Amino acid sequence: MVAVILDCDPGHDDALAILLAAADPSLDLLAITTVAGNQTLDKCTLNARRVCTVAGITGVPIAAGADRPLRRPRRVAAHIHGESGLDGPAFGEPTVGVSDEPAVELMRGLLLDRPEPVTLVPTGPLTNIATLLDRYPEVREGIAEIVLMGGSTGRGNTSPYAEFNIAVDPEAAEIVFGSGLDVTMVGLNATHQALVTPDVVARIRAVGTDVADVCADLMTFYAAAYERVYGLPGPPLHDPMAVARVIDRSVVGCVPAPVRVETAGTYTSGATAVDLHHVTGEPDNALVAVDVDVRRYFDLVVEAVTRVGLTQR
């Protein structure tokens, strides 16, 4: 089993990343940490608790992290994820709590105590991860690799050239990509190969459990937002793809490349400059996702929803 920590900003796609990370038998989900991104920190943390409650995920600590980027003003994505950050289904009061320990300190403790290095899977802005590396450099040897959802080898979604997670906190992303750790970037160029079209929603709903219904309702809301904003036939299932890469390397094919983060551009701030053809002569500092086995990817997601299903309707 691979020990992982999921750092997220739920967020509709983060919600399915939580389920996949918790349910897949090849992973040992040590903790869920939250960061301001799709919504405010409080809303993202509440949403992580909601997802774990609905899915019956217990015994996995949830810890809250940064409530704003390192330097820039906070921004959210309510136009995609709604005012709650998890609009669509109705959620009751969560029974899963939140840790008293802040996210970065909880991560530090886990990374120092574990016998084997841990894989970090960030699926939101990289503020927590950058803070962890900066404040506690001793944790580096406890990190096996960082497999993040963010960036793009092509166009952006938050500006013409910047993807949301990087655009929110480019300075944090610069720290992570410049860390010298093994970093894998699962960007929009990969996630847009896996759109949650109605047939995928139907596969999820057909699982027939309460949690499957919640996931299908989440994807239905998410799909309407992506159709309204981007005119896509289905929303890209971004975040679980980073988890899928940890589960099975063959599901998400990657190539080594230099990745630099634009932190100064007037129109390009937050862009990930991925030198796929090595024209800059820069050294490779990341693996970059380029190919996706979409069928296998969605199989993993549906299998996870099936496993966490609490009650057959």
What's the Cα-to-Cα distance from 105 to each of 44, 49, 64, 110, 196, rounded to whole Å?
18, 19, 10, 9, 35
CA-to-CA distance for 74 and 203, rounded, in angstroms?
A: 36
The answer to whether residue 215 forms part of the interface with ligand RIB (CB under 6 A) is no
Q: Strand runs (DSSP E) across 109-205, as ranges?
A: 118-122, 143-149, 183-186
Among the listed ranges 6-14, 28-36, 284-292, 293-301, the one in contact with ligand RIB (CB under 6 A) is 6-14
Which residue's CB is nearer to ligand RIB, number 108 or number 245?
245
The answer to whether residue 7 forms part of the interface with Ca ion (CB under 5 A) is no
The answer to whether residue 163 forms part of the interface with Ca ion (CB under 5 A) is no
Which residue's CB is nearer to ligand RIB, number 108 or number 192?
192
| Contacting ligand RIB within 153-182 (CB under 6 A) | 157, 163-165
The answer to whether residue 238 forms part of the interface with ligand RIB (CB under 6 A) is yes
Among the listed ranges 7-15, 69-77, 203-211, 259-267, the one in contact with Ca ion (CB under 5 A) is 7-15
Residue type, 162: A
| Contacting Ca ion within 102-141 (CB under 5 A) | 123-124
Helix (H) or strand (E) holding 257: strand 252-257
Beta carbon of residue 81, minimum distance to Ca ion (angstroms, whole number): 9
- Establish whether 192 is a catalytic residue: no
Helix (H) or strand (E) holding 6: strand 2-8
What's the Cα-to-Cα distance from 292 to each of 180, 183, 242, rounded to whole Å?
26, 18, 11
The answer to whether residue 38 forms part of the interface with ligand RIB (CB under 6 A) is yes
The answer to whether residue 87 forms part of the interface with ligand RIB (CB under 6 A) is no
- Cα-Cα-Cα-Cα dihedral of 223, 228, 231, 234, to 10°? 0
Beta carbon of residue 74, minimum distance to ligand RIB (angstroms, whole number): 13
What are residue 244's phi and psi, to 5 degrees? -60, -35
Q: Choosing from 12, 81, 192, 238, which is the catalytic residue?
A: 238
The answer to whether residue 128 forms part of the interface with ligand RIB (CB under 6 A) is no
CA-to-CA distance for 264 and 270, rounded, in angstroms?
A: 8
Which residue's CB is nearer to ligand RIB, number 75 or number 114?
75
**Sheet containing 252-257: order of strands:** 62-64, 27-34, 2-8, 118-122, 143-149, 183-186, 286-292, 252-257
Please identify which residue in 7, 9, 87, 174 interacts with Ca ion, judged by CB under 5 A.
Answer: 9
DSSP state of 194: S
> Which residues sit at the interface with ligand RIB, rule CB under 6 A?
9, 11, 13-14, 37-38, 123-124, 149, 157, 163-165, 238-239
> Which residues sit at the interface with Ca ion, rule CB under 5 A?
9, 11, 14, 123-124, 239
